[in-house]
């Protein structure tokens, strides 16, 4: 893979910039947008970007910071899910705490925002506190966001408990968007001011990249990634007016800026240092771009990938048609089509070649998955009575990488037969075909006694960075296997079966 981004340069510039910003205050609260850990979107659009770059920036200055995690009580109540991992926000908070601790970063507490005595929020609070995690509950802020006098009073931020912190930098993060990070930062600024401390606010969001052009594919890819939030990139006219410099921000930040600035001025009792939303940011990601053409190409690929994800989410009932329409507008703006994703085109061409006549006399097409290897070669796998397309393509891909002939079986029938019997006769599964995880487990068992299977297994790590496409919507389990292998996978918006429970 050709690199377009210098991770080390970015790490140095970003760390230095954050430390420069904190010098102006007794304490700096930094709202972290996007994913703090495992930022796969940034990794895809900026080849060379470390998916854990943000956490490594923090690790480089870990002695000066601590972390607050926000989660919105309403998201806990409706079991909101992080789609890329398939886990609910309460579980994601637990995962985040474990990951942050693994990086030796101090987690101060969890804040449940817009708390209104929700049952699920109380249960989650009890779970955390009984595991030794401090929990604070912040209430809906009266008058927010327009009634500044009420917001900055005992009726507004004053109702929230003060979060005790010790370090000069406090990172405020969350499992997803609209979790109350900004409100938590401002509430803390209010309480710090009442205690006579000079506290500041900044925002660390990788996208949109403020010092790239408005229509740069990196910034358009951000719009595609947040199409369900209706975010729109705009020229920051406040920044242009103040400095004569064109910069990019998104609609929510630009719309909220005048009110946010008034709130900060009301809290601190002095004129704000910010002349624009861009001033609030501490993003140096553009400094790490070393090959703009590579980055542009990767961003175009990501936009098409998001297009397929949007179509599938609509089919699953997760989003509404207006989101699909917005995504199609982004594609049309750039003159893109779904078949511009090469692996999707190859998967559908292969599917047509594999067509057969069904019992009803109609032409049928199998579930087929195609993987584009890092060498540029395409490998296919199709659904059979034995295994599904995801499982088949992974086996075929590692056989190709290991240069093993097609007629050589990696998994002994002695291993497969009891697994299939278990699913069919004991667990009474409707789908007998093995999925990707089940086949990989069977492969690992075979590898104990079969050197060829063992060698093929060693090639799994070479699938990282590969592209894949399925002609039907994948199960969550198969999607997670592809993710763990580092394969970027998309699907056509079609279900494998008409059965509702299994779809």
Q: What is the DSSP string of 385-399?
A: SSB-HHHHHHHHHHH
Between 81 and 265, name the one with better pLDDT: 265
Give the tokens for residue 324: 């699909």
Q: What confidence score (pLDDT) does residue 189 get?
A: 97
In the predicted structure, residue 433 carries a pLDDT above the cut 90: no
Give the whole-angstrom CA distance, residue 214 versus residue 220: 8
Give the whole-angstrom CA distance, residue 186 versus residue 202: 11
Average pLDDT, rounded, for the chain:
92
Residue with the two structure tokens 């709130």: 263
- Dihedral of CA atoms 138, 143, 146, 149 in degrees, nearest 10, equals -100
In the predicted structure, residue 445 carries a pLDDT above the cut 70: yes
Listed range (181-195, 330-344, 403-417) with the worst mean pLDDT: 403-417
Q: What confidence score (pLDDT) does residue 212 get?
A: 96
Its pTM stands at 0.89
> Which one-letter DSSP state was computed for residue 425?
I
Q: What confidence score (pLDDT) does residue 407 get?
A: 85
In the predicted structure, residue 363 carries a pLDDT above the cut 70: no
- Using CA atoms, how far residue 281 sits from 14, 30, 229, 291, in Å, is 11, 9, 20, 24
Give the whole-angstrom CA distance, residue 373 versus residue 368: 16
The pLDDT > 70 percentage for the chain reads 96
Q: In order of start, what are the domains of the chain with their CATH numbers? A: 7-205+253-285 (3.10.630.10), 341-491 (3.40.140.40)
In the predicted structure, residue 359 carries a pLDDT above the cut 60: no
The phi and psi torsions of 111 (rounded to 5 degrees) equal -110, 125
In the predicted structure, residue 501 carries a pLDDT above the cut 90: no
Give the whole-angstrom CA distance, residue 437 versus residue 477: 8
- Using CA atoms, how far residue 305 sits from 148, 348, 407, 467, in Å, is 42, 16, 34, 10
**Overall average pLDDT of the 248-254 stretch:** 92
Q: What confidence score (pLDDT) does residue 500 get?
A: 62
Beta 169-173 vs 65-72: how paired, if at all?
parallel
pLDDT tier for residue 307 given thresholds of 50, 70 and 90? very high
| Coil, helix or strand at residue 92 | helix
Q: Residue 414: is it exposed, middle or buried by C-beta count within 10 angstroms (0-12/13-18/19+)?
A: exposed
pLDDT tier for residue 427 given thresholds of 50, 70 and 90? confident
Give the whole-angstrom CA distance, residue 372 versus residue 329: 27
The pLDDT tens digits for 456-466 are: 999 999 999 99
In the predicted structure, residue 254 carries a pLDDT above the cut 90: yes
| Coil, helix or strand at residue 66 | strand
Residue with the two structure tokens 């949007």: 310
The pLDDT tens digits for 26-54 are: 999 999 988 888 889 999 999 999 999 99
The Cα angle at residue 15 between residues 13 and 19, in degrees rounded to 5: 115
Q: Does the CA dihedral 95-98-102-103 come out positive or negative?
A: positive
pLDDT tier for residue 364 given thresholds of 50, 70 and 90? low
Between 431 and 486, name the one with better pLDDT: 486
In the predicted structure, residue 7 carries a pLDDT above the cut 60: yes
Q: What confidence score (pLDDT) does residue 495 get?
A: 87
Preceding amide of 145 cis, omega within 30: yes
The phi and psi torsions of 107 (rounded to 5 degrees) equal -95, 115
Q: What confidence score (pLDDT) does residue 365 get?
A: 66
Q: What confidence score (pLDDT) does residue 288 get?
A: 96
Give the tokens for residue 271: 């004129």
Q: What confidence score (pLDDT) does residue 502 get?
A: 56
Q: What confidence score (pLDDT) does residue 101 get?
A: 95
- Using CA atoms, how far residue 159 sits from 72, 124, 189, 342, 412, in Å, is 17, 21, 14, 55, 65
The pLDDT tens digits for 332-352 are: 999 999 999 999 999 999 998
Give the whole-angstrom CA distance, residue 78 versus residue 72: 10
> Residues 6 or more apart from 241 whose CB is under 8 A from it?
none
Give the whole-angstrom CA distance, residue 374 versus residue 378: 9
pLDDT tier for residue 406 given thresholds of 50, 70 and 90? confident
Preceding amide of 364 cis, omega within 30: no
Give the whole-angstrom CA distance, residue 85 versus residue 475: 12
Between 429 and 110, name the one with better pLDDT: 110
**Overall average pLDDT of the 99-119 stretch:** 96
């Amino acid at each position: 893979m050709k690199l377009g981004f210098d991770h080390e340069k970015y790490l140095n510039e970003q760390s230095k910039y954050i430390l420069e910003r904190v010098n102006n205050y007794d304490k700096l609260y930094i709202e972290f947008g996007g994913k703090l850990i495992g930022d796969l979107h940034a990794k895809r659009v900026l080849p060379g970007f470390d998916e854990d770059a943000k956490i490594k920036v923090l690790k480089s200055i870990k002695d000066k910071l601590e972390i607050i995690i926000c989660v919105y009580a309403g998201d806990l109540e409706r079991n909101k899910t992080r789609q890329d991992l398939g886990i609910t926000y309460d579980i994601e908070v637990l995962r985040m705490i474990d990951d942050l601790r693994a990086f030796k970063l101090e987690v101060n507490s969890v804040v449940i925002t817009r708390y209104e005595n929700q049952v699920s929020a109380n249960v989650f609070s009890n779970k955390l506190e009984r595991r030794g995690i401090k929990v604070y509950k912040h209430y809906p802020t009266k008058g927010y966001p327009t009634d500044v006098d009420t917001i900055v009073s005992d009726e507004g931020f004053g109702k929230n408990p003060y979060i005790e912190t010790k370090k000069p930098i406090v990172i405020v993060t969350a499992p997803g968007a609209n979790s109350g990070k900004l409100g938590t930062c401002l509430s803390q600024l209010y309480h710090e001011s009442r205690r006579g401390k000079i506290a500041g606010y900044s925002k660390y969001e990788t996208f949109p990249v403020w010092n790239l052009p408005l229509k740069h594919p990196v910034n358009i890819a951000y719009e595609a990634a947040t199409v369900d939030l209706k975010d729109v990139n705009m020229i920051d006219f406040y920044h242009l007016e103040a400095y004569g410099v064109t910069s990019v921000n998104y609609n929510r930040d630009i719309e909220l800026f005048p009110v946010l600035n008034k709130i900060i001025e009301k809290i601190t009792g002095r004129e704000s240092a910010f002349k624009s939303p861009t001033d609030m940011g501490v993003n140096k990601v553009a400094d790490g771009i070393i090959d703009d053409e590579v980055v542009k190409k990767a961003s175009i690929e990501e936009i098409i990938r998001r297009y397929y994800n949007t179509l599938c989410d609509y089919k699953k009932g997760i989003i509404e048609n207006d989101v699909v329409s917005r995504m199609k507008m982004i594609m049309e703006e750039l003159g893109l089509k779904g078949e511009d994703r090469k692996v999707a085109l190859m998967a559908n061409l292969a599917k047509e070649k594999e067509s057969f006549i069904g019992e009803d006399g109609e032409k049928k097409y199998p579930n087929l998955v195609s993987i584009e290897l890092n060498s540029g070669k395409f490998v296919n796998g199709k659904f059979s009575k034995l295994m599904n397309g995801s499982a088949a393509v992974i086996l075929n891909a590692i056989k190709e990488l290991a240069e093993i002939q097609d007629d050589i079986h990696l998994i002994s029938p002695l291993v497969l037969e009891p697994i299939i019997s278990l699913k069919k006769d004991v667990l009474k599964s409707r789908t007998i075909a093995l999925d990707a995880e089940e086949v990989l487990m069977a492969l690992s068992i075979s590898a104990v006694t079969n050197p060829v299977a063992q060698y093929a297994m060693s090639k799994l790590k070479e699938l990282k960075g590969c592209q894949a496409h399925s002609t039907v919507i994948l199960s969550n389990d198969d999607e997670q296997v592809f993710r763990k292998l580092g394969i970027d996978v998309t699907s056509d918006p079609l279900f494998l079966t008409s059965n509702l429970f299994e779809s």
